[in-house]
């Protein structure tokens, strides 16, 4: 689920389930994305959008869930796009295995009007950049490399926060009965 600028005030975490199937080894299990990290993802995507002259940028987990997006998303079925991007990475992962490769971490699709660049980030996320003739594959690849480093840094912070929460600093312990009642009003 993605929000245009920031998550609504009543929702302060996002939760994504364990990785499964071909990506089971790549997943680090269940993780919680707090608003701070979500906003950092958004910031990286917006910078990539501007710096690469792309039309739209999506961040997808390997299960096919859209985490965040920036740009002209109104013309896209974002749910299908996220799911198909994950399927594309999975299919090419199978092809890579057949020829003895670990994976193909970067994919490029060229169309008549638009092009699509898909890349695996930190072995857990998929960065999808859709661009047209205003940009070039070289520019997109260059900007994606930097954005991938930034996204990996944010993901590392998510993991560190989750590790701290597992050690008793978690959100559940802090919930009061009043907080729970507020959720159902």
DSSP for 6-37, please give it: S--TT--EEEEPPP-GGGTTT----EEEEHHH
Kindly state whether residue 121 falls inside one of the protein's structural domains. Answer: yes
**What pLDDT sits at residue 31?**
60
**Greater pLDDT, 172 or 48:** 48
- The better pLDDT of the pair 71, 6 is held by 71
Q: Report pLDDT digits (tens) over 126-165.
A: 999 999 999 999 999 999 999 999 999 999 988 887 766 6
Q: Give residue 175's pLDDT.
A: 64
Task: Let me know if residue 3 belongs to a domain.
Answer: no
Q: Greatest CA span in the chain, whole angstroms?
A: 57
Q: In this prediction, what percent of the chain has a pLDDT beyond 70?
A: 76
> Residue 2 falls within a domain, yes or no?
no
The CATH number given to whatever domain includes residue 54 is 3.30.450.30
Digit-coded pLDDT (tens) for 41-62: 999 999 999 999 999 999 999 9
**pLDDT value of position 122:** 93
The helix (run of H) or strand (run of E) holding residue 79 is helix 78-98
pLDDT band for 22, please (50, 70, 90 cuts): very low
Q: What is the pLDDT confidence band of residue 16, given thresholds at 50, 70 and 90? A: very low
Contacts by residues 20-29 (CB-CB < 8 Å, ≥ 24 positions apart): 20/63, 21/90, 22/90, 22/93, 22/94, 23/62, 23/63, 23/90, 23/93, 26/62, 26/123, 26/124, 27/62, 27/124, 28/124, 28/159
Q: 88 lies in a domain?
A: yes
Q: What is the pLDDT of residue 167?
A: 57
Whether 8 maps to a domain, the answer reads: no
Report if residue 55 sits inside a domain.
yes
Q: Is residue 29 part of a domain?
A: yes
The pTM of this model reads: 0.75
The answer to whether residue 13 scores a pLDDT higher than 50 is no
In terms of residue numbers, what domain contains 50? Answer: 13-177
CA distance linking residue 80 with residue 63, whole number of Å:
12
Q: How confident is residue 174, by pLDDT bands cut at 50, 70 and 90?
A: low
Residue 148 domain-assigned? yes
Question: d(Cα 86, Cα 88) in Å, to the nearest integer?
Answer: 5
Look at the chain and report how many structural domains it folds into. Answer: 1
The DSSP output letter for 124 is: T
């Amino acid at each position: 689920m993605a929000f245009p600028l920031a998550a609504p005030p009543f929702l302060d975490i996002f939760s994504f389930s364990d990785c499964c199937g071909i990506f089971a080894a790549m997943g680090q299990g269940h993780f919680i994305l707090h608003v701070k990290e979500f906003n950092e993802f958004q910031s990286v995507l917006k910078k990539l959008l501007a710096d690469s002259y792309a039309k739209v940028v999506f961040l997808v987990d390997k299960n096919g869930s859209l985490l965040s997006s920036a740009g002209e998303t109104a013309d896209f079925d974002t749910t299908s796009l996220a799911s198909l991007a994950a399927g594309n990475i999975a299919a090419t992962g199978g092809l890579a295995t057949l020829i003895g490769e670990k994976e193909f971490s970067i994919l490029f699709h060229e169309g008549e009007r638009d092009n699509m660049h898909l890349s695996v980030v930190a072995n857990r996320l998929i960065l999808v950049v859709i661009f047209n003739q205003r940009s070039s594959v070289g520019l997109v690849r260059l900007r994606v490399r930097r954005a991938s480093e930034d996204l990996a840094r944010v993901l590392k912070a998510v993991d560190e926060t989750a590790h701290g929460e597992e050690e008793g600093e978690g959100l559940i312990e802090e919930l009061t009965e009043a907080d729970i009642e507020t959720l159902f009003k």
